[in-house]
Amino acid sequence: MNIIKKTQGVLDQLSGMSKKWRQKRRDIPFDEMQQYMTVGEYQVGSAQDTPNGEDYDLIVYKDDEGTLHQALRPVDASDLAPEYVRKFDKRLDRYQAFVNKKTGRRYIVERQLDDFVDYVNRHIRKGNNSVNIGVLTDTHYKESDSIDFYGHNGLTHVKEFNYLEDKNILDLKAHLGDWMDLIQD
């Protein structure tokens, strides 16, 4: 009986690998603006999945250390200040997500949270005897950069969690622990 289970497991793995090999490889980046690697100014819009599908000037520049950055500025902006910024991360071999300069939140996450709010609003119980509680845990904020979910990302997650408060969906927010990590030398 045990040999049958092991054989079936091996066959399932081989089947999965076979399906994966047969899939077409996509050379399309998950983010259309990842391809802009040359310093300059470009016109981008809904085809590049910009915030709210609006038209922007995409400015690509290098800082003093030679790191590539991208900035999005509305085409009709009265000043030169960008609305969204991001930088190229050599460890990831791609740009990080765009962050709103005012809110510190990623617009792609706000879009996902908008979809979540729409879903919850269709299933929520309205009335005085109802409480909606948002729970966040394990942000593990620390004063060091990291490519995983910890590090500066922890603070970003808290800011994005606060977006749900802006959408008036929560009566109470709670953080259940592991708020930050201490760095020991």
- What would the two tokens of residue 18 be? 């076979």
Rounded Cα distance between 55 and 131, Å, is 39
Q: What is the pTM of this model?
A: 0.68
Residue of 65, 68, 104 lying closest to 84 (CA atoms): 104
- pLDDT by position in tens, the chain (length 185): 566 655 565 666 666 566 556 655 555 556 899 999 999 999 999 999 999 999 999 999 999 999 999 999 999 998 889 999 999 988 888 998 999 999 888 898 899 999 999 998 898 877 778 888 888 776 666 565 555 555 556 667 778 888 888 888 888 888 876 655 555 55
DSSP 8-class letter at 66: -
d(CA 156, CA 88): 18
Q: How far is it, in rounded angstroms, from Cα 108 to Cα 144?
A: 24
